[in-house]
Amino acid sequence: MTFALLTAGGAGALLVLLGLATGCLGALVGIGGGVIIVPILSLGFGVPMSSAVATSLVCVIASSSGAASAYLRDHLVDLRLGMQLELFTVAGAVAGAFFAPLLPAAFLQVLFGAMSLPVVHGLLWRPAPELPGPGTVRHLPFGYAASFGAGALSGTLGIGGGPIKVPVMTLVMGVPFKVAAATSNLMIGVTAAASVFIYWSRGLLDLGLAAPIVLGALVGSALGARLLPRVSSRVLRWMLALVLLYLGVQMIVRGLA
């Protein structure tokens, strides 16, 4: 509430641009964009962390649903795989909500940061299928376990499932990158929706802050969904690798601090 009138004038335009950029990036690489929105809101705009997280969740729903609608229409989403991984992600999120106080958050942050480095290496250098089509989905049980872990850690690490599930689908399960990104977009909206109502009920949702970001994110996700077929998977993997590298370093710094 305190920050709502910040959104007038130049600050409002900046927030729309922030939503546009994160919505576009999220649609392209299958992440929600919270890893970018939360630090910018909290460090750049002085928004309290809990309000920044609530705002980013609303933005994640907007960008992922907007992108997923285009990907479903184009049959780029593996709906069955998405639904099955979604089941384990939500189960993990529910379990994580109960056991979060018992988890060593700092250790998990450093562990996530350290593990992101080989994933970045894999995204950059390991060959992967380019196009969707007849193929195989490998190591389903690992995918279920990773989705459960992504859900369980989402509350502790403050990240959505995308940065974990897209690399797992691509590098371990053999899903083409664009299908993984599209399927991730379908999934993360559900996880974010489950959390956003909790923040809302606790009075932490600031709509004056969220509205311009949501409007930007919707335009950005539509733009990203249009760009996805035109951008090569290699470029997209580089983009995700850079996001993961940034996130990994951020986690290590936060964990050690």
State the residues that interact with another protein by CB under 8 A. 1-2, 4-5, 7-8, 12, 58, 61-62, 64-66, 68-70, 72-73, 75, 77-81, 83-84, 86-87, 90-91, 93-94, 97-98, 132-141, 179, 189-190, 192-194, 196-198, 200-203, 205-208, 210-212, 214-215, 218
Element (H, E) at 103: none
Question: Least distance (Å) from another protein to the CB of residue 21?
Answer: 17
Structure-token pair, residue 164 = 């974990």
CB neighbourhood size of 222 (10 A): 19
Return the number of the residue (165 or 251) whose C-beta is nearest another protein: 165
- The DSSP letter of residue 172 is I
Question: Least distance (Å) from another protein to the CB of residue 102?
Answer: 16
Question: Least distance (Å) from another protein to the CB of residue 198?
Answer: 4
Return the number of the residue (93 or 181) whose C-beta is nearest another protein: 93
Alpha-carbon 24 to chain mean position = 12
The structure tokens 């130049």 sit at 10
Please say whether the beta carbons of 75 and 131 come within 8 A. no
Question: Least distance (Å) from another protein to the CB of residue 192?
Answer: 8
**Alpha-carbon span 20 to 213, nearest angstrom:** 7
